[in-house]
C-alpha cells in the first residue's frame, strides 16, 4: 500500500511542478524525505516570501510539523489550507504515510480541529484498522470528537484489539463517556488477560454506577467469577443498594481479598445490622490501611460501643503509628455531631 502511496505523492508533486511554488514544494519534500528538516524549513520560508498563499507549500510545512512532532502546528497549517481551499484534504497523505509515527501524529492533529470532509468518524474508523498499534491507540483517544452514538461502537471494537494498551484505553474511555449501556462490555473486560485492562474496566464500572440503575449490575452478582461479583457489589453499594452486601462482607473477612478497603468504604453505606460487627472486625486486619479505614468508618458511624476498642488501639505501642493516629481521629469523630458516613472510594 505504501509503495503505491509514494507513487501517488510523486505524481502529485510532478503535476504541481509546472508552477513555481510547486517546484519549491518538491524540493522541500525531497529534503524532508532525506531527513534534512532544517534545510527544508529554510526552503519553505523562502517559498512563502514569494507565494504566501501556496497550498503546495503549506502542505509540505504540515508534513514538516508532523516530522518535528508538533501536531498542534500541523493542525493550524491544515486550517490555513482549508481556508484557502475548502475542498482540500490536507490529511489525506499524512494519514497514509509509510511511517506509523507520522500517521499517529496526523490522527492527533486531525482531532485537534477536525475538518468536515472527510467525516471524522470515517477517518477514525479507518485508523482503528491500522496495522500499527500506536495509530489505533491515537484513533481511540480521538473519539472524544465524536458523539456517544458514534464513539461507543468504535470503543467496543477496540476492546477486542490485540494491543493491551489499546484495550485499556477503550476501557477507560467507555467510563468517561458516561454511557451505562457499556456496563456489560466492561464486565466482560474484567476477564482480560492484562491487569491494566482489568483495572480500567473496574474503574469505569464504578464510575458509571452513579449514572446507572441497580438493575444494570444485578446480573453480575450471579457470575461465577468472584471479581465480577465483588465489583458489582461495590457499584450497588454506591447506589445505596445492599443486594451485594453478603459478597462485600465475605470480601472484608477474607485475608486475601484484594477489595477489603473498598469493601469497608462501601459497606458503611448500607443500613444493615451486620455492617458494624464486620467493620469492627476489620480493625484487626493484617493490612494497616484496612485497619485505618475501618477505624475512621466507625468514627463516622458514631459507633460509641467501639470507643474502648479505639482507645485500646490508640495506646497499643505495637500498632503502627498511622493506625494509632487513625484510632485517635476516630475517637475525635465520636465526640462530634453525627454526620452521614462518606468514605471516598478509590478510583482504582
Count Cβ neighbours within 10 Å for each residue of 30-50 and write b for 16 or more, e otherwise.
Answer: ebbeeeeeeebbebbeebbee
Strands (E) in the chain, as ranges, are: none
Confidence (pLDDT) at 22: 87
pTM, entire model: 0.84
Q: Is 146 a domain residue?
A: no
In terms of residue numbers, what domain contains 303?
Answer: 283-338
Cα–Cα distance measured from residue 185 to residue 196, given in angstroms and rounded to the nearest whole number: 16
| Average confidence (pLDDT) per 10 residues, the chain, 348 residues | 52 56 89 91 92 94 96 97 94 96 98 94 97 98 95 96 98 94 96 97 96 95 96 97 98 96 96 97 97 97 96 96 97 81 59
Q: Is 217 a domain residue?
A: no
Confidence (pLDDT) at 14: 47
The count of structural domains within the chain is 2
Q: Is 257 a domain residue?
A: no
Cα–Cα distance measured from residue 7 to residue 311, given in angstroms and rounded to the nearest whole number: 80
Confidence (pLDDT) at 18: 55
Confidence (pLDDT) at 13: 47
CA distances from 229 to 86, 250, 282 (A): 54, 11, 20
Cα–Cα distance measured from residue 233 to residue 74, given in angstroms and rounded to the nearest whole number: 47
Cell for 21?
511554488
Residue the block writes with cell 501524529: 105
Q: Is 297 a domain residue?
A: yes
Confidence (pLDDT) at 312: 97
What sign results for the dihedral spanned by CA atoms 161, 162, 163, 168? positive
* DSSP conformation letters of 114-134: --SSS-HHHHHHHHTT-SSHH
Confidence (pLDDT) at 175: 95
Q: Is 139 a domain residue?
A: no
Q: Is 96 a domain residue?
A: no
What sign results for the dihedral spanned by CA atoms 203, 209, 212, 214? positive
Confidence (pLDDT) at 4: 55
User: Which of helix, strand or coil describes residue 237?
Assistant: helix
Amino acid at each position: 500500500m505504501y509503495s503505491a502511496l509514494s507513487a501517488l505523492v510523486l505524481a502529485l508533486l510532478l503535476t504541481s511542478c509546472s508552477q513555481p511554488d510547486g517546484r519549491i514544494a518538491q524540493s522541500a519534500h525531497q529534503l524532508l524525505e532525506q531527513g534534512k528538516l532544517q534545510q527544508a524549513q529554510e526552503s519553505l520560508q523562502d517559498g512563502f516570501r514569494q507565494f504566501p498563499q501556496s497550498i503546495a507549500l503549506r502542505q509540505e510545512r504540515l508534513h514538516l510539523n508532523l516530522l518535528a512532532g508538533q501536531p498542534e502546528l500541523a493542525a493550524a497549517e491544515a486550517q490555513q489550507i482549508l481556508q484557502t481551499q475548502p475542498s482540500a484534504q490536507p490529511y489525506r497523505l499524512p494519514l497514509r504515510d509509510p511511517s506509523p509515527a507520522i500517521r499517529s501524529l496526523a490522527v492527533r492533529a486531525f482531532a485537534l480541529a477536525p475538518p468536515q470532509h472527510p467525516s471524522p468518524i470515517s477517518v477514525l474508523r479507518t485508523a482503528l484498522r491500522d496495522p500499527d498499534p500506536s495509530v489505533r491507540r491515537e484513533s481511540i483517544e480521538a473519539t472524544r470528537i465524536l458523539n456517544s452514538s458514534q464513539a461507543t461502537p468504535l470503543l467496543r471494537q477496540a476492546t477486542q484489539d490485540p494491543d493491551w494498551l489499546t484495550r485499556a484505553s477503550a476501557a477507560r474511555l467507555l467510563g468517561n463517556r458516561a454511557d451505562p449501556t457499556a456496563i456489560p462490555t466492561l464486565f466482560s473486560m474484567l476477564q482480560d488477560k492484562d491487569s491494566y485492562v482489568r483495572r480500567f474496566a473496574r474503574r469505569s464500572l464504578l464510575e458509571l454506577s452513579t449514572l446507572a440503575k441497580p438493575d444494570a449490575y444485578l446480573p453480575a452478582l450471579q457470575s461465577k467469577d468472584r471479581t465480577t461479583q465483588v465489583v458489582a457489589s461495590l457499584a450497588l453499594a454506591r447506589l445505596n443498594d445492599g443486594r451485594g452486601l453478603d459478597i462485600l462482607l465475605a470480601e472484608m473477612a477474607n485475608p486475601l481479598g484484594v477489595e477489603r478497603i473498598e469493601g469497608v468504604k462501601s459497606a458503611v453505606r448500607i443500613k444493615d445490622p451486620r455492617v458494624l460487627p464486620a467493620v469492627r472486625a476489620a480493625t484487626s486486619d493484617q493490612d494497616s490501611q484496612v485497619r485505618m479505614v475501618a477505624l475512621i468508618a466507625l468514627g463516622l458511624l458514631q459507633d460509641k460501643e467501639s470507643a474502648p476498642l479505639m482507645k485500646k488501639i490508640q495506646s497499643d505501642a505495637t500498632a503502627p503509628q498511622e493506625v494509632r493516629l487513625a484510632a485517635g481521629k476516630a475517637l475525635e469523630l465520636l465526640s462530634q455531631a453525627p454526620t452521614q458516613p462518606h468514605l471516598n472510594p478509590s478510583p482504582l
